[in-house]
Structure formats: structure tokens, C-alpha cells
Structure 1
Amino acid sequence: MAWQHGFAALGADFFTELRPSPLPAAHWVGRSSAVARLLGLDAAWLHSDAALQAFTGNGPLAGARPLASVYGGHQFGVWAGQLGDGRAIMLGETAAGWEIQLKGAGRTPYSRMGDGRAVLRSSIREFLCSEAMHGLGIPTTRALCITGSPAPVRREETETAAVVTRVAPSFVRFGHFEHFCAQRQTPQLQALADYVIARYYPQCRAGAANPYAALLQAVSERTARLMAQWQAVGFCHGVMNTDNMSILGLTMDYGPFQFLDAFIPEHRCNHSDTQGRYAYQRQPDVAYWNLLCLAQALLPLIGERDGALAALASYPGVFSAEFMAGMRAKLGLLQARDGDAALIDGVLMLLARHRVDYTIFWRRLSQAVGCGDFEPVRALFAQRADAERWLLLFSEHTTHMDHAQMAGMMLKTNPKFVLRNHLGEQAIRAAQQGDFGAIETLLRLLERPFDEHPGHDAYAAFPPDWAATIAISCSS
């Protein structure tokens, strides 16, 4: 593997160089062939012991330059001070521009009394959801593989260790900028901003009156598009702290997360989020709040408060336009028309009132448009009168449209398979007993979530009653 180490060129103020801490008796848990191809890795090598040891942190990759970066952040709305890669170690950046990072690789100077490890259950969830989000077409960090070890890790109870190999063009977060602003290290802040602009946002330098304001606006608009995609697919992040927000508008840091079962706008997926700060319906507003924190961090470079606020002014409009476009696609509306907003508001209020399963509703509606049989959609509602009224509006709104074309769009927009909590939990329980087959099956389904995958309908069924008792917290 060829390396270029772009982030490392920023200098020692930005990171600490150190090697991962080894784990005993490493074994494979899961691998993504798609990410291996992305990195240009030989498939046979990825099954080798050398790869196993390298991605567990037990043996260095030739040319790698491992490091842990420093950043800060607001956690649950409160400034947390200096943070950093407390259990993640970046091996380096490939010549093709992919940063490779081991999560769970041991203590770093930023571990803050933590053990620097990750446990098997959270590692499986991150591995699967990273690839599931990519399969849905939502910007995300990727996951190459998971390795496991019998080494004990203490959380609420004693669990076993695991390491996820994560891949992204960059793992720079809002919190990186917050750290240098809080430390009043303006030269380092500018160096970081210049690096991000040169590498990822060159258009912000070309012709922009203020490249740093242009950077803020570009990040804001990417974030707005990401939030629209999360909301449309029914995804809850759970820990939208500023240190978990990507400067590239990627979904990152899969701790507590959930795809909605019943459509409950106030749903919170993080058991630790007692105030509901990161509830599903609040995500777009929280993202904007986080962008305000980024704006504050960039203010020494932007120069004027009004200029920073102006850079964020497009966020609401971009979010609204992208969300409406996503919802039109879910409804098979081939072009924008008067009445679209009322139809979209109506269906969301209907689903919330009856707490209907979000993914199943949209998939059944997609199929119904194609075949003309809406009975499976009506069957989702105990009180059918509300559903009938909305379906009548939907029918009237789409009377003159090509329903075959509509259904084709809807079936490519509304997934059959998402990573529901109970599916992840079943894969975790099997893996804890040494059976990794469920991970392979889920990965295959989630990589192509819009396909039918005959014989796997159970993975697209209603969640069992016990799924409601699953509690996911920040502990991982």
C-alpha cells in the first residue's frame, strides 16, 4: 500500500505519533470486500494472517505512520474541553486519498482515563451501519473489517475486545477547529483550515472574497444535505456532539444509533440522552447549532460575526429543498408540483399519529403503486379511515402520472432492508458465541438494501416485541 500522510504534514501540534496496542489471539469477525476493492487491496491478502494482525494493531503496515489526533468539542450542548482520538489510531493516508483508522486500538494521550478499547457489540454495529448507510446512498465513513480478541474489556459488564478498521477521505471534525480556537492557537487554526480547503474544498479558495467563510458555507450546505437524507430514511444518530460531526458532511462515529421502527418523531435512540437533545425530529436543528459552534471556531479567520452568520444563512433553504426532494422521491413524484408539501406533511402526520412502521410503510406503498393493490398499506393502520383519506389525496395528486415509472423510482428510494436494532442484536449475540454468519448475511443485504433478496423476507419483517427493550447507550 502506498501512503502520502497529508494530515501528518500539519505537524506535532495536531497529533501524537504512537503505535496501536496489541491484542492477544486475534480472529476475524467481518470483512467488506467492497471497501477492500475501494482501497485496492488484494482479496487473498485480506484473508491472510498478516492482514489480521495489521488490522488488530499487532503488526505495522509497511509505510504506515500511526497517530492519534487532538480535538475538542461540545458534548450534549456543553463545552467538554480538549478531547481527541481516545481509542482511534490513524494508520495513515493512502496515495489514493483514503485515511485508514483503527478504532479500539488502545490508549492514547487523549483517552481521558479510558481504556482505549472498543467492545465486540458496538464494533459490529459500526461495521454494519457504515456499510448500510453507503448502500442507502448516504455519505458516511466506511468500514473495512472487524477483528476480535478474547481480551476482557469492562463496561457495564465484562465484554471482549474488537477493532474496527474505518476508512474515510478525512476524519477531521468540527471539534478539530474548536480545539485550536479555544486554545487561541490561531496559526494552527489557519493551517488546519488551509489544509482542509486545499484538499477537500479548493473551490473555496478560487475566487472567494473570504475563503474561510466560503468553507463554512460549503460545510453547512453539505451538513444540511446529510440531515435531509437522515430524516428521509428515518435514521437517528444519537450522539450529535460537535466532535462527532464531519467536516466533509459524512455520517461518522456510530455509537448509539437507530433506524426508526414505529414513526415517532420525538424518538431518541440513545439511552443516555435523558433530555432528548438528539431525538429524531431535533436532528436538523442540532446540526445547525453545531454549525454555529464551528462558525465561532472559524471566527478568528473569518473576521466578522456577520460574515460567519451569512455563511450559515443557506442552511435552512438547502435542508428544506433537499428534504422535499427526498420525500418526493419516496412518493414517486417525478417533478415538483403545487400540493406536494401538503401531501408530504399529511403522510408524516398520519404515520406519527398511528405510529406506523416507517420502513415497511414506504416499501409497501412503493409496491402498491406498481401493482395497484393498496390493501397491504391499509392493513398497517388499526383505524383505516385516516389512511383512506390520505390515500385518496395521493391518488388524486398522481392520477395523470406514469405509475410504473413512479414505482420504479420509489423502489429505488425506499429500502426493503435497514439495520434495525433487533437485527444487529441478533448478529451480536451469535458473534458472541463465535458464529459470524449473521454478520455476513446482514452485510450482503445491507449493501444492496433496495433489492428483493428472495428468501430473506424475515430480515424485512416487523421487529419482534423484545426489540422495544433494547437500550443503546454511549458505553462502547
Structure 2
Amino acid sequence: MQFSNTYIKLGERFFDPSHPTPVDNPQLFLWNSALADQLQIPQELQKDTDALAQYFSGNQLLEGAEPLSAAYAGHQFGQFNPQLGDGRAHLLGELLDTQGIRWDLQLKGSGTSAFSRGGDGRCAIGPAVREFIMSEAMHALGVPTTRCLAVTLTGETVYRQQPHPGAVVTRVGSSHIRVGSFQFFSARGDKESLTVLRDYTIDRHFPEINDMEGDRNVLLLEKAIERQINLVIHWLRVGFIHGVMNTDNTAISGDTIDFGPCAMLGDYDPRTVYSSIDHQGRYAYGNQANIALWNMTRFAESLLSLCLKEQPENSDAEPEVKEDLLDQIKDLINGFAERFEKAHQQMLAAKLGFVEAKDGDETIMLEILDQLTARKMDYTQTFNHLTKSLNDEASHQYLSEKLADTYNTWRQRVTQQDTDVDTIQSSMRQQNPVVIPRNHHVEAVLQACESSGSPEAALSFLDVLRNPYQETADTPQYQDSGEGFDSDYQTFCGT
């Protein structure tokens, strides 16, 4: 293993140089061997579970690691907090994978930092296992996401209304730069640090900007918008509800980050909310595109101080943004909705097997979604049936009864295309999973892991979730909708 630590070189304005707090009795609980191989973690270390427990609980530091807790601000449910930061996480450094791609290695639940704000800096086993399961499921579904390398039990008790076993998550991400990272320096008027962060972000995530003509701030905003649109489209494709799309949970890389009150959509309804603290439906399934736009607007605002007109020395005039840059930024923000809607239409067309767009397609899409809402039909199961119905009589009969004329219209549209049905079905299957991490199964697995102290329930679940587009012998165990479980379901942040 060869650590590099580029973020720490940005300077201490960007972080608190804190170290993980040791724990009593670390035990390795979950280990992601495929990800470990990708990160080139030596096999001799992977076989030594005691050493892994020490390293990935924070009791010992891997050679070359330089831990830090990153500083950032953020809008939380629309309210700005100028200082948040990693209150229970420590970035150890960066590793290059087998393809030379750089990844952050971060411990979460590893103790306090200057940003803990009275918190205990710890994580309970439930949220730790949830993040491992959900991030691996998202990765297998083809959704941009951070991932988990390990969950390590601490041998200590964490109190969250009631006592729970403590755990530390090892998160792997393409970076941990957030919209809130930019807001932190913008709120302080620290243009120097903001410029450093902008250039670092470009070099790390969008190096092609260095060879492009135009203003770097505008180009960075455009790339970030593109990534956010892609991310939310994938969320909607598989029925994922993030639950807490605050700006401090919005990664500039366009990856899913922070799996606190997340959940999966069952019966289709764009208004669906599961987060216990989202009383107004701000982060509902169908509102995630609007929030992505809201977050990108806040990102644009944080970059404005880098787009100011030159001022004469000793001038008392109020700084003004260059008109041409302001117009370009406004155009990007104002164009978000149209870009998103185009991508959304393309995603739905792919799920429905429309090879080439035709007049009337949007009407068919809307009719199907409206029927799903009106009839309280399961989103994943319905699109699975649509995919199978092209050559499966049982799915054909089911949809004929449930969707009637709407299904017949769709089927006629699909089967009259020049492309053969097998190819269409194969293409649809790439968009429509046969299994997702259903909320009731996730909760059952978390309870089983905590009560038994064994990872077996999680491992069995993960075996299926890692093949979401294939029916294996065990897939049917996890495909049921849960018989009303979601109607009273609530998720929680875990802090």
C-alpha cells in the first residue's frame, strides 16, 4: 500500500489535524475483498483479520496515513450553518487503485474532532452496516457512489436513545469535496482558499478543464451540474431516496455520499418520504431533481467571489461580478431543468424499451407512471414485469389485468420497432433490476446483525444485491414488497 495525501497539502484552513480515538476491543465484522484487491491492499494483510481490525478501527495507523477531519459548511434543510465539518470521521489519505485512479480512505465513527459540536464521534452497528449494504447495492446497480471497505466493531457501546454496539465504517470515495466545502470558504470571504479548492477540485475530478477555453469557475459549475443530473437520474431509475440532500451531503464528484436516512421506493408515488426529520417532504423521491438544482445554485453562489470585476486600488465601490460570467452562470442554472428533463425522458425511454424517440412516447410514459401511482403498484416489480412480459406469459397476463389499455399501448409501441424483441428485452434488463435493497429486508438484516453479533445475514443479502440484474437461486427471498411495511416506515440519521 502506498498512501498519498494531496488534500492535507492544501493547508490547515481546510481541516482539523485530529487522529482517530482508540477503541476497546476491535473486531472485523464486514470486509470488501473485491474492493480491497482493487485498492491493491496486500493479500498478507487481508488475511490478518486482527491487524485489519486494528487499522480500520483507528487503533493503529497504516503506514503513510496522515489523518484529518475536513472542514465544510452547509445548508441543512435550507438553513445555512457556516461550520459543520467531519465531527466523527477521519480521512486517512489516498490510495491509487489498479488503474491508477485515486481514492480517499476515510474512517467514519472514529472519534471526535474540532467539528464534533458536542457529539460523541461514534457510530452504531446499524448505520454502519446500512452504509455497507446500501453503497454496495448502489454500486452493483450502476449508480455513482462512495463504497465501503470495512465495518469494524469497536467493543464499546454507543447510545442513540438506547444502547447499541459501536462500529467504525471505512468509506472509499473519489473524494470528499462537497458543495459545503466551497461554502465554508465563501462564507468567510476567503478567496485565496476558495481558489485553491477550486483548482484542486478541477485537477482531481475534471482535469480536462485545464485544456478548455473559458472561465474556470463557469466550466467547473457546468461539470458539477452534469454530474448531479446524472446522479439523480440514476437514483430515480432504481427508486432510491437519499433522504437528506443537504449541501454538505452533495459531493462535487457526483457520487452518492452519506447513507443516513436513505430508503428505496416501493409503491410508486413521487411524494414518498421516509426520513423521520423531513416533515415538509423537501427530499421526497420526486423532488430530488429540484433539490439538486437548489444545491447547484448554492454552489454557483459560492463561486461568485472568484468572478469579480477588477477594482481600482483603494476603491470603496461594491464588488461586482463580471457581467459575461454572471450571464453564463445564470444560463447554466436556468438551463438545469431542461437538461434534467431531457435526461429523465431518455432514462424512462430506456426503461420502457423505446429504441428511438417517437411522438407520443411522453404520453405513454406519463400514463404508466400515473397508473402506478393510482393503483399503488410497486415500482421495481412493475418494470421487472414489463421487461419479462415480452416473452413471459405470466407477466403479460399480470400487466394486462393491472394496466389494461395502458399496457397494451406500451406493448404495441415496443413490439412494432425495427429492433428484435430479444435485443429490446436485453436492453431493458440493463435498466430494470430484478432486486433492490428493500426497506423491510434491510431492517431485518440490521436487526439480525445486531442481535446475533454475526455478519451472516448481511453476507447472504449482499450475495443477492451484488447481482441486481440477474435472478439467482436466492433472489426470490428478497423480491417481495413487504406487505405494507413501507406505509409506516421511518429512517433516521444515526447521529
TM-score range, shorter chain: over 0.9
Q: Which range moved further: 44-53 or 15-24? A: 44-53
For residues 362-377 of structure 1, the aligned pairs below 5 Å read 362-375=383-396, 377=398
Cross-structure match for 2:462:
443
Q: What is residue 314 of structure 2 aligned with on the other side? A: none
In structure 2, the CA distance between the partners of 1:467 and 1:343, relative to structure 1 (3 Å rule), is closer
In structure 2, distance between residues paired with 1:157 and 1:423 = 22
Aligned-pair distance for 1:149?
2.5
Counterpart secondary structure, 2:69 = strand
Judged with a 3 Å threshold, the aligned counterparts in structure 2 of structure 1 residues 44 and 328 are, in CA distance, closer, same or farther, namely farther
State which drifts further: 143-152 or 172-181. 143-152
Q: Please, what TM-score do these two structures have when normalized by structure 1? A: 0.95
| 1:141-198 Cα deviation digits (max 9, x unpaired) | 1111111123111112121211110001111000000010001111000000011112
The separation in 2 between residues aligned to 1:50 and 1:144, in whole angstroms, is 15
Find out whether 1:252 has 2:257 as its counterpart.
Answer: yes
CA contact (8 A) 1:27 1:149 kept: yes
Give the AA of the match of 2:231: L
CA contact (8 A) 1:236 1:260 kept: yes
1:420 aligns with 2:438: yes
**Pick from 268, 290, 294: which aligns with 2:273?**
268
Q: CA deviation at 1:64?
A: 0.5
Q: Confirm whether residue 405 of structure 1 aligns to residue 423 of structure 2.
A: yes
Q: Is the 8 A contact 2:77 2:282 kept in 1?
A: yes
Deviation at 1:339, TM superposition (A): 1.9
Superposed CA offset, 1:50-99 (max 9, x none): 11110011111011111001000000001112010111100001244111
Q: Aligned partners of 1:294, 1:99: CA distance in 2, in Å?
A: 22
Q: Secondary structure at the match of 2:82?
A: strand
Please give the secondary structure, in 1, of the residue aligned with 2:281.
Answer: coil
1:306 and 2:327 are equivalent in the alignment: yes
The amino acid of 1:46's aligned partner reads Q
The Cα of 1:422 is off from its aligned counterpart by: 1.1
Q: Determine what percentage of the aligned residue pairs are the same residue.
A: 34
Offset, 1:454: 1.4
- Is the counterpart of residue 240 in structure 1 residue 241 in structure 2? no
Deviation at 1:439, TM superposition (A): 0.7
Query: 1:338 aligns to what?
Result: 359
Residue 125 in 1 paired to residue 118 in 2? no
CA contact under 8 A between 2:95 and 2:103: conserved in structure 1?
A: yes
Q: Write the letter of the residue equivalent to 2:414.
A: T
Task: For residue 322 of structure 1, report the CA deviation from its aligned partner.
Answer: 2.0
Corresponding pairs, count: 471
Q: Secondary structure at the match of 1:154?
A: strand
Q: Which amino acid in the other structure matches residue 349 of structure 2?
A: R
What does 1:55-454 correspond to in 2, within 5 Å? 55-95=56-96, 96=100, 97-303=102-308, 304=321, 305-375=326-396, 377-378=398-399, 384=402, 387-401=403-417, 402-432=420-450, 433-454=452-473
**Maintained 8 Å contact 2:270/2:284:** yes
The runs of 5 or more residues in structure 1 that have no matched partner are none
Gaps of 5+ in 2: 309-320
The DSSP-based 3-state class of the residue aligned with 1:94 is strand
* Cα contact 2:384–2:433 (8 A) shared by 1: yes
Contact 1:70 1:85 in 2 (8 A): yes
- The TM-score, its normalising length taken from structure 2, stands at 0.92
Check whether the contact 1:365–1:377 (CA below 8 A) recurs between aligned residues: no
The alpha-carbon distance between structure 1 residues 38 and 376, as it changes in their structure 2 partners (threshold 3 A), is farther
SS of the residue 2:211 aligns to: coil
What is the CA-CA distance between 1:466 and the residue it aligns to? Answer: 4.1
For each residue in 1:195-231, what CA deviation from the matched residue of structure 2 results, as whole angstroms up to 9, or x when unmatched?
1112211222323220111101110111011111111
SS in 1 for 2:454: coil
* Letter of the 1:317 counterpart: E
Task: Letter of the 1:444 partner, please give it.
Answer: D
What SS does the aligned partner of 2:62 have? coil
In the alignment, what sits opposite 2:318? none
> Cα–Cα, structure 1 residues 43 and 443, in superposed 2: closer, same or farther, change >3 Å?
farther
- Using a 3 Å threshold, how does the CA distance of structure 1 residues 452 and 135 change in structure 2: closer, same or farther? same
Cα separation, 2, equivalents of 1:204 and 1:290: 22
- Structure 2 match to 1:18: 18
Shift of 1:405: 1.4
Cα distance in 2 for residues equivalent to 1:406 and 1:54: 48
CA distance in 2, matches of 1:321, 1:377: 31
* Shift, 1:376, TM fit: 5.3
CA contact (8 A) 1:229 1:323 kept: no
- Equivalent pair of 2:124/2:494 in contact (CA under 8 Å): no
Query: Which one-letter code corresponds to 2:46 in the other structure?
Result: L
